[in-house]
Amino acid sequence: MTELALADSLSDVLGPKPAEKLAALGVTTVGELLRYTPRRYIRRGLVADHQRPEPGEWLTIVGRITKSDLIQMKSRRGQFLKVKVTDENEVYEASFFNPKFIRHQLRPGARVMMAGTVKYFREQIQLSHPEWMILPDGDPEIDHVVGSKMLTEMYAIEEEVTREHGGAHPLVAMFDREILPMYPATKDVQTWDILGAVRRVLDHCAPIPDALTDAQRRERGLVSTDEAIRKIHLPDSEDDVKVASHRLKFDEALAIQTVLAQRRLEGRSEAAPPCPHVPGGLEDKLRERLPFTLTEGQLAVGEELAEDLALAQPMSRLLQGEVGSGKTLVSLLAMLRVVDNGYQCAILAPTEVLAAQHHRTMKKMLGDLAEGGELTAAEGATRIALLTGSMKTKGRRETLLDVVTGSAGIVIGTHALLEEKVEFFDLGLVVIDEQHRFGVEQRDVLRGKGRDGRIPHFLVMTATPIPRTVAMTAFGDLETSVLRELPRGRQPISTSVVPMGRQNWVDRVWSRANEEIDAGRQVYVVCSRIGDDDAPEPAADDDEKGPKTTSVVEQYEALVAGPFAHRRVEMLHGRLAPEEKNAIMDAFGRGEVDVLVSTTVIEVGVDVPNATTMVIVDAERFGVSQLHQLRGRVGRGQHAGLCLLMTHSKDISQSMQRLRAVAGSNDGFELARVDLEQRREGDLLGSLQSGVNTSLRFLSLLEDVEVIEDARGLAEDVVSEDITLLHHRPLADLVDGILVPQKIAYLDKS
């Protein structure tokens, strides 16, 4: 066989059938296979890491049987075989039904491989009727393999390949190794299928080109990528795994930072409309009217935005701020500066409720400054337009006309803004609210709506605080501004966790809410789903399914018939007609509704100063940052806020830990770290950038600060001299190999 290249198809290398199986894992080329690295290792039965498998995960174990018992079934006739297997670190239980044949094979002392779906019972890992195989154990008398059909067939296939190509049987050879790699596998694609393919590919693969020079590797104490790939798949020691992981971690950081550096550099070469301060303009007029003083944080961020907007290259800035820190006002002042210079602004919001809320809030803030074209308008006034997908034809046509003629200086909308038929007269600034709800593909659609080839300035806002290393990676093409300080007058919010299993505590929640209403204030009640016909959200913890969740419909009916029978109660959720949703929110804002029973459509942007109490039902179904966002809807007026987290969570559980963290802190940045620490690392970018599959297996976005900063600096140096990577082909290949380009359009290389 000739030397294999990373781009070679596995179908040509392994044959159609094995390649078809691997394609189900998203692995189709030699390079993709070599990047599909082991999840864990077994060292002569000892697991190298201590991470326990998730329920439902397909798990392969290699160990020794310590106990094997036939047990009479209680509910029906017959027996089952319960086998205990240890790998010297963990004990597993496997159960087999109708065990007439296998009970003579699965005896104490036998060395076995088992593969099956993980279940838990009282913290004990269990495999129900797994695939199994007795392994050669240095006994020369063993000349055949005994096991279940799937694994013995697999053994026979490998044996046939061995006879064809020569050498030792791959599985036998593997069991002679000190360290056995275990891959992310499925029932149809076993860890040994992957391992057999990897061995064959590595035997014939040309050395992998390195993105780093010898000097750069020495400076960082790194092995070559080729050595790292070979050691990560076939380590001879734990030190091999360590040095290989260290290099592959750097490669992941370098790949991400390279494309972000490309994007930053592209932005510097693009033209944007410069927007300096216009004395006496709308920006100045609003500042003069404000009934309060801006916080130091708002002033500082405002200056950062002003400096960026004054330049002839597009601003690309991420504004992350605490719930209620005044991001909307800061962004409005920036928009007015752009309008003062003769350009338009667009605000992209994730929901119609939030878009409508922004529209109401900004019109209220501006008053006659937003009544352009009307008799009551102030001098130099502009207009604020609202564009959503559910608008009637006539209103939509009028709004589109205001946008294309430039009559509307500020255009607020949902995804409807992204449609081709929406044309701006001269778009100068785009504000994206709650960026984690959008992918950068949508950001790029708005980039293309500028005039005469100019790119509009971009301000991306989020009330979900992001740790610095995550921001450097997920939003590495943006400069970052942070608002931590809350405006004067914001009231404290006290938060308590309420066990739903105790009826007297539940009753107290509703009586406490009634006390607030008696005092003339209003209450939110939030549920995780709409009604019985929609599936309940999965439990936050896999080991904690809990009782069925309470829907908005059920909670509304129970409250109207019970504790709030004499109150004005309304229900709000995503399936209501937009006019109905807006009417309900308007009524709540005017104080005509005492209790609003809602889904998370009120999570962001909703501002009703008289609402003081937030009751979150089945609070364990929400993430930490989401809970922090929700409770930020109260305490926005003269009175202190109260948030009650009702939960079925057990006292000792991950869910309860999260809820107590929320109850114990009002610092969104601290809570964001708690939230992200409890998620899987591979999900981080995906949760922050819609539709992203980063394939990160080694890099920790929370912990590897120095690695990310080092990779960022190196990427900047390379890209500043060679933005297309034409003279750095190994680095270009590294980017393609790690980032799976077809899945991450947001990194969009030139």
pLDDT digits (tens, 9 = 90+) for 643-699: 999 999 888 788 888 899 999 988 877 787 777 666 544 444 443 343 334 457 888
Region 10-29 average pLDDT: 88
Q: Are residues 634 and 607 in the same domain?
A: yes
Asked if residue 264 has pLDDT above 70, the reply is yes
Residue 5: its pLDDT value, please? Answer: 84
pTM comes to 0.66
Decide if 125 contacts 89 (C-beta within 8 A). Answer: no
Asked if residue 577 has pLDDT above 80, the reply is yes
Q: Are residues 470 and 347 in the same domain?
A: yes
Higher-pLDDT residue of 44, 725? 725
Residue 516: its pLDDT value, please? Answer: 95
164 pLDDT band, cuts 50/70/90, is low
Residue 565: its pLDDT value, please? Answer: 94
Q: Are residues 599 and 474 in the same domain?
A: no
Asked if residue 73 has pLDDT above 60, the reply is yes
Region 568-584 average pLDDT: 89
Q: Which of 430, 459, 483 represents a domain boundary (last residue)?
A: 483
- Position 99 in a domain: yes
- Position 192 in a domain: no
Residue 543: its pLDDT value, please? Answer: 42
Residue with tokens 């174990």: 61
**Inter-CA distances, 404 with 400, 409, 423, 424, 444, Å:** 6, 10, 5, 5, 19
Of 522, 486, 528, 520, the closest CA to residue 614 belongs to 522
pLDDT digits (tens, 9 = 90+) for 201-246: 998 888 999 999 999 999 999 999 999 999 999 998 889 999 999 9
Residue 603: its pLDDT value, please? Answer: 63
Write down the mean pLDDT value for the chain: 83
Q: Which of 665, 680, 715 represents a domain boundary (last residue)?
A: 665
Determine the angle formed by the axes of helices 327-340 and 296-309, rounding to 10 degrees. Answer: 30
Asked if residue 138 has pLDDT above 80, the reply is no
**Distance between CA atoms of 568 and 588, rounded to whole angstroms?**
10
**DSSP reduced 3-state for 160:** helix
**Distance between CA atoms of 249 and 266, rounded to whole angstroms?**
26
558 pLDDT band, cuts 50/70/90, is very high
Q: Are residues 660 and 699 in the same domain?
A: no
- Position 730 in a domain: yes
For the beta sheet containing 595-598, the strands, ordered from the edge strand earlier in sequence to the opposite edge, are 493-499, 641-647, 611-616, 522-526, 595-598, 569-572
Residue 87: its pLDDT value, please? Answer: 80
Residue 644: its pLDDT value, please? Answer: 96
Region 504-533 average pLDDT: 91
Q: Are residues 472 and 501 in the same domain?
A: no
741 pLDDT band, cuts 50/70/90, is very low
Q: Are residues 534 and 627 in the same domain?
A: yes
pLDDT digits (tens, 9 = 90+) for 617-644: 999 998 888 898 889 889 888 899 999 9
Asked if residue 436 has pLDDT above 80, the reply is no
List Cβ neighbours of 308 (8 Å cut-off, separation of 6 or more).
315, 317, 457, 479
**Distance between CA atoms of 228 and 542, rounded to whole angstroms?**
34
pLDDT digits (tens, 9 = 90+) for 584-621: 988 999 999 999 999 988 766 577 889 999 999 999 99
Asked if residue 27 has pLDDT above 50, the reply is yes
**How many CA atoms lie less than 13 Å away from 205 in the CB half-sphere?**
25
**Distance between CA atoms of 708 and 224, rounded to whole angstroms?**
18
Domain span at 386: 282-483
Q: Are residues 548 and 657 in the same domain?
A: yes
Listed range (21-25, 487-491, 740-744) with the worst mean pLDDT: 740-744
Structure tokens at 252: 């992941």
Asked if residue 184 has pLDDT above 50, the reply is yes
Asked if residue 392 has pLDDT above 50, the reply is yes
- Position 440 in a domain: yes
Region 560-572 average pLDDT: 94
Q: Are residues 475 and 590 in the same domain?
A: no
Q: Are residues 516 and 595 in the same domain?
A: yes
Q: Which of 440, 457, 483 represents a domain boundary (last residue)?
A: 483
158 pLDDT band, cuts 50/70/90, is low
Higher-pLDDT residue of 658, 470? 658
User: What is the count of structural domains for the chain?
Assistant: 4
Higher-pLDDT residue of 21, 277? 277
**Distance between CA atoms of 319 and 330, rounded to whole angstroms?**
10
Q: How far is CA 460 from the centre of its chain?
A: 17
Asked if residue 380 has pLDDT above 60, the reply is yes
**Distance between CA atoms of 253 and 259, rounded to whole angstroms?**
10
Burial 317-327 (b: 16+ CB within 10 A, else e): bbbbbbbbbbb
- The domain that holds 315 is classified in CATH as 3.40.50.300
Q: Are residues 429 and 545 in the same domain?
A: no
Q: Are residues 578 and 638 in the same domain?
A: yes
Asked if residue 251 has pLDDT above 90, the reply is yes
- Position 10 in a domain: no
Residue 512: its pLDDT value, please? Answer: 95
Asked if residue 473 has pLDDT above 80, the reply is no
- Position 198 in a domain: no
- Position 77 in a domain: yes
**Inter-CA distances, 406 with 401, 409, 493, Å:** 8, 6, 42
**Distance between CA atoms of 486 and 381, rounded to whole angstroms?**
30
- Position 684 in a domain: no
List Cβ neighbours of 176 (8 Å cut-off, separation of 6 or more).
none
Name the most confidently modeled range: 377-386, 432-441, 488-497, 571-580.
Answer: 377-386
Decide if 222 contacts 711 (C-beta within 8 A). Answer: no
What percent of the chain shows pLDDT beyond 90? 37
Region 19-31 average pLDDT: 88
748 pLDDT band, cuts 50/70/90, is very low
Residue 102: its pLDDT value, please? Answer: 83
**How many CA atoms lie less than 13 Å away from 59 in the CB half-sphere?**
25
Residue 624: its pLDDT value, please? Answer: 86
How many other CB atoms are there within 10 angstroms of residue 40's CB atom? 18
Q: Are residues 435 and 301 in the same domain?
A: yes
Report strand pairing: 111-121 vs 569-572.
unpaired
Region 722-729 average pLDDT: 93
DSSP E strands in 341-387: the ranges are: 344-348, 384-387
Listed range (91-100, 304-313, 460-469) with the worst mean pLDDT: 460-469
**Inter-CA distances, 372 with 81, 283, 410, Å:** 81, 15, 11
Bridge partners of 126, per DSSP, are 93, 119
